[in-house]
Structure 1
Amino acid sequence: MIHDKDYIIRIVKQFSEFLSKMILGGKNEGDLSELDRVFDTNMRDTFKMSFEELALKSSAEMIDLVGTKDTAHHIPYFELLGHLFYFKNKENPSPDYASKAKAFYEIYLQKSGIFSMQIVSRINELKA
């Protein structure tokens, strides 16, 4: 059971790192179809649904979804959700994506107790 939890958190962290690289580097690096395939695979592995299905849920529903996970995994999930909606907002600007990214980043900062200038900057960017 512990091994399964370690695997899940590793998948979440790898997906979060992948999104961070996509945000910083943009989609210009690498084969676009390969990046899309990796993104879709990570979505299915992490959330058991496509991004489109996840995006239809309200922030409260996603918070409840994270709440069903192991408590030790909440912080990485909120960071991942922030990265996910920030990335998708950069790709296709949407007030809904921006507000979800901001909300999840704020929850991440609050729960983690970490001060991340990069995330604070993204929150400020999303407010503008």
Structure 2
Amino acid sequence: MSTATGSCLCGAIRYRVDGPLRPVVACHCSQCRKTTGHHVAATSAPADCVTIEGEPRWYRSSDSAERGFCPTCGSNLFWRRPGHLSIWAGTLDTHPDDLKLASHIFCADKGRYYEIADGLPQAAQDDPALALATRPG
């Protein structure tokens, strides 16, 4: 079984994922843009495979999901809904060689100041096939 670890900038929040990580999906929705200043690149795992140390603050961003961040340094870390936890890929301590960006979702909401030119699949909104049945935003 694979294990991955990560943390916020100051280290007050640490996490461990026991099991495989989903390929990275870039979410360009307006909520992800506003909480991070750009788009989000997130992997994910079933919530019961993730152990969180410390006390993230959770913000209810919709009727079905919350965003988790460090109340000390402000690092954005997670997006969750029941049974599922998306993890901002940049917060991982190390990146497994097989963890790669796979697709883009909510491209209709992306900022006008950049183009998506990597040739990966894109969806105007959410697309479970591109996001592999999960999404970060």
TM-score (norm 2): 0.26
Higher helix share: 1
**Structure with the largest fraction of strand:** 2
Larger RCO (CA within 8 A; separation ≥ 6): 2
